[in-house]
Amino acid sequence: MKKYMKYLMTGTLLTGFSFLFGSCNEDEVPSYGEMALDNNEVFIKIEGENPSAEVNILQGNGNYRVLVKDEGVAVARVEGAKVIFSGIANGETTATVMDWARKSAEVKIKVKEDFDLLLSESDLLIVKGENEGDAVDVSIRSGNGGYSVTTSDANVANAVLMENGRIRVTAGEGIGRAEVKVTDADGMEAVLNVLVANYRFAVAEEESGLGLLQGTEGFIQVMAYNESLDIVSDNEAVAVAELVVDEGTETMADEEAVPMARIKVTPKETGLAHISITDALGMNAVVEVKVVERLSTETKSIFWIPVPVEGYDGDDAAPVIVKVNGGSGDLSISDNKGGCIKGTVNGDEVSLIGNWKACSEDFNNGKNLVYVYISDNKTGDKLEIPVNIVEQPYLSKPTRRYWIKGDNPNGKGLTDIGYDDKKAKNYMRIGDNGLFGPAYNYSVYFEGDWTVGEKTGAELRKQTSGALTNISSLRIDKVEEVDGLIWYWISFIEEGNSWRSYMVGTSE
């Protein structure tokens, strides 16, 4: 029985192998088709945000991929049976499209980036005699190569291509306007507007403008022009203009004569006008004319302008404000003492502060007065305001100093305070150490203590003459201890004065 089963199994296996191998022959071996594309060359023109080209796979074996040789020129991706190429930069490269069976096809890629045709200038002025050979070079900043140039009027200007992307434009025999047209290999164009003139048109007041007072004529100076002038006011209710003097020519050494002209401007009423001046070549300048009232202020004099003291910001340190009426608004500040006073302008207000170190002379109360000048830079109008005193604020830092009627503000090296038994009054005196001891200039006497407040029985003695002057409203305004010294600020009104005199000092 076992023997029978052995033969039966052997026969069955042989029959199975015979069946398997008997079903396979050469005609039934799988075959793989070649890769086929609808285009083996693409051109990508870089324009817009996503420049690209597509190639369809007509025949292949699936599972496609693509390799680009130079991804600095283009990149590619596969979407189904489609290959999409994207341009990166100018150049040429190749891409290989492959399937899973290693069948492939090659695609040539050419990328062209269109550059705008740009020149270094869009307008060019050539003034004869200013450049060697009356020629000026203009650069081609970007473009697509293969450039050519033409000119609309060779009698005015000629143009030729030079090396390194430059165009040389040369003035012709005549003057006037011409267009130089530049064209590149892609047909892009750029136009250079050329103006050739005999003289560089210039008007002296073009930048600064002209300020006029009502009833006062002014003039505009044309420094050079070509052939003729056209003059127009845009607001004749405010100002009118006319050519009053054709000054002919001005000849410089070894140079050609230059035509010049003078234009009279007549103000009519306050306001703003613009005078347009144009020569025969269309070169133009516009001069702003402002007609204003004279400068005025209610501040006829200034008693005190404070000098800033570092660390002190009391009320008496505030700048003096002068309200200015009229004028062009273009103001400047000066004085007759070489910079004693600094001024800033904010609209119609002038802020004045002292610059004591710059004072060139002593001054005070009608003696060697400082004068502040507020000047209109456009019209030449000027205000003159006298100033009695420029000094550090009375209540500022402790320094031995005084200000007495008829004397200059003075800093001194010596003060003394005490009690006069004969007068039964306190006193402060101020001066310097002299050759034979203390030499005091002034002394004040008062009844009362050394605290802040009003005092009575006040007297002022001028030591040099011994004269005793009645004073009123004496008060101690401030008492301060600094570095172990007690300092006193004493002010009072002298007879005939409306302002307060003062002394500042200490006992040592």
Decide: residue 259, CB within 10 A, 0-12 exposed, 13-18 middle, 19+ buried. buried
Extract the tokens encoding 500.
Answer: 């307060």
Nearest to 488 by CA among 426, 388, 417: 417
pLDDT computed for residue 10 by the predictor:
44
> Residue 361 half-sphere exposure, CB side, CA atoms within 13 Å?
12
Output the pLDDT for position 358.
64
Query: In angstroms, rounded to a whole number, what is the distance separating the alpha carbons of residues 206 and 99?
Result: 75
- Per-residue model confidence as pLDDT tens digits over 258-289: 899 999 999 999 999 999 999 999 999 999 99
Task: Mark 409-437 as b/e (b = at least 16 C-beta within 10 Å).
Answer: bbebebbbbeeeeeeebbbbbbbeeeeee
Total residue count of the chain as it appears in this document: 508
As a whole number of angstroms, the longest Cα–Cα distance in the chain is 168
pLDDT digits (tens, 9 = 90+) for 442-453: 999 999 999 999
Cβ atoms of 355 and 307 within 8 Å: the answer is yes
Residue 147: name the closest of 166, 128, 129, 134 by CA. 166
- Return d(Cα 300, Cα 322) in angstroms, integer: 10
Short-list 210, 272, 276, 267, CA closest to 239: 267
Residues of the chain with pLDDT below 50 are 1-24, 251-254, 364-366
Predicted structure pTM score: 0.59
